[in-house]
Structure 1
């Protein structure tokens, strides 16, 4: 699938199109300017990186190959953690209870600590729904929301890694040649579950990003 196939706008183009054609939300330009200055200052003094990714205790602190594989695996299952009515999604890890996205991270870390080979693309490719259900089961006994969809995404991602990238996501990083836009194109091209497109005023667009890989500390080491 070509990145711009079917007249799908790039993320930056999508944002501009939505702002131009939207009529239910107004942009506070003074507020945008103020936030932009705060982000710029945080980027300059190094606090932005820590605030966005490194500070949460569940995220990897290194930039090795396992950290890259962790990010890809977690991003593969990172969608819609809203539980059904009457259900809860909470996971306790190292004495702390998490909900939503962080509950998913805690479940992954818990499984890795128990020896589950979640970094293995072969495991991802072949893992069954019962095992994924057990891994991501909440403290309250409820399954992770959209369990079947997540199993499908994990299986599909594992198959692609095995068939095209030697079982490792960092091999795809090398093909991106340090370009975030190229990496985004490659991910969307090869991994169906990441093709998260929507239509607005008759135009298909996407609001995808690849920032999580960049936020792994010293991630360049994974490409050595």
Structure 2
């Protein structure tokens, strides 16, 4: 018998209702809400901040290394998972950055070095040694966490893009027909590594965190300006 799958909003409600060891405190939600509102008012939180960050692609820039912004964003979010290290371990750092931004720094460094890291034809067949060199750390010893999983993810998504979308994530965006919801569905349908689902309390729940981040990052990067044939709405 198949288990019905809940979307992320339904999943959150179901998990909260049936959780035995974790509680969501209303006071915490209120505190976070105020922090977000204040961040928006003070412009610490803004969609403009994405492309303004030196480690993110900016499609409005004339710099040569900002070509293929959508494919660049796709690679970043394909690999945007698990940077956690225990307190007594050395943190993974690239050019002084830790966590997600260390990943961004490594990808941008590779592009500057002439590595075709945002091309599916390259990363669908990349070997572990090459990937380890791309993500080499400042100290030359600390490894990016879960390097094998990242290798597998790149192989998986690269093959799908080559076989079904002529080797470009931009074509998948266009297939979404200007709909953010449809883009989310396509990402989850096409790429298993973006499909964070599990069975919990009799239901199949889904979080789809990175898929939602990817949709948001694409919009934040372009804001409906450069990728004219694939502007994303909230429908």
Alignment CA distance shift 1:34-1:79 (3 Å): closer
Tell me which of 27, 33, 36 is aligned to 1:35: 33
Q: Is residue 191 of structure 1 aligned with residue 191 of structure 2?
A: yes
Looking at structure 2, the residues matched to 19 and 148 of structure 1 have their Cα atoms a distance apart, in angstroms, of: 33
Residue 68 of structure 2 aligns to a residue whose secondary structure is helix
Residues 98-141 of structure 1: CA deviation (Å, up to 9, x unaligned): 01111011000000011101121100111111000001011122
Greater shift, 31-40 or 17-26, is seen at 31-40
Instruction: Note the C-alpha offset of 1:14.
Output: 1.4
Residue 7 of structure 1 aligns to a residue whose secondary structure is coil
Partner of 2:63: none
Residue 80 of structure 2 aligns to a residue whose secondary structure is coil
Alignment CA distance shift 1:189-1:61 (3 Å): same
Q: Is residue 61 of structure 1 aligned with residue 58 of structure 2?
A: yes
Residues 136-184 of structure 1: CA deviation (Å, up to 9, x unaligned): 0111222211111101111111111100001110100111122222111
Instruction: Note the C-alpha offset of 1:7.
Output: 2.4
Query: Residues 72-91 of structure 1: matches in 2 within 5 Å?
Result: 72-83=74-85, 86-91=89-94
Q: Work out the number of aligned pairs and report it.
A: 214
Partner of 1:215: 220
Looking at structure 1, the residues matched to 32 and 85 of structure 2 have their Cα atoms a distance apart, in angstroms, of: 36
Instruction: Note the C-alpha offset of 1:50.
Output: 3.1
Contact 1:127 1:155 in 2 (8 A): yes
Alignment CA distance shift 1:114-1:128 (3 Å): same
Contact 1:136 1:144 in 2 (8 A): yes
TM-score under structure 2 normalisation?
Answer: 0.79
Partner of 2:201: 201
Instruction: Note the C-alpha offset of 1:220.
Output: 4.6
Partner of 1:16: 13
- Give the structure, 1 or 2, with the largest relative contact order (CA under 8 Å, sep 6 or more): 1
Residue 94 of structure 2 aligns to a residue whose secondary structure is strand
Alignment CA distance shift 1:47-1:144 (3 Å): closer
Contact 1:39 1:48 in 2 (8 A): no
Looking at structure 2, the residues matched to 6 and 169 of structure 1 have their Cα atoms a distance apart, in angstroms, of: 31
Structure 1 runs not aligned, ≥5 long: none
Contact 1:91 1:139 in 2 (8 A): yes
Q: Is residue 104 of structure 1 aligned with residue 103 of structure 2?
A: yes
Residues 13-39 of structure 1: CA deviation (Å, up to 9, x unaligned): 112222333353233269539827954
Alignment CA distance shift 1:6-1:188 (3 Å): farther
Alignment CA distance shift 1:60-1:6 (3 Å): farther
Looking at structure 2, the residues matched to 170 and 164 of structure 1 have their Cα atoms a distance apart, in angstroms, of: 12
TM-score under structure 1 normalisation?
Answer: 0.83
Looking at structure 2, the residues matched to 200 and 127 of structure 1 have their Cα atoms a distance apart, in angstroms, of: 36
Partner of 2:116: 117
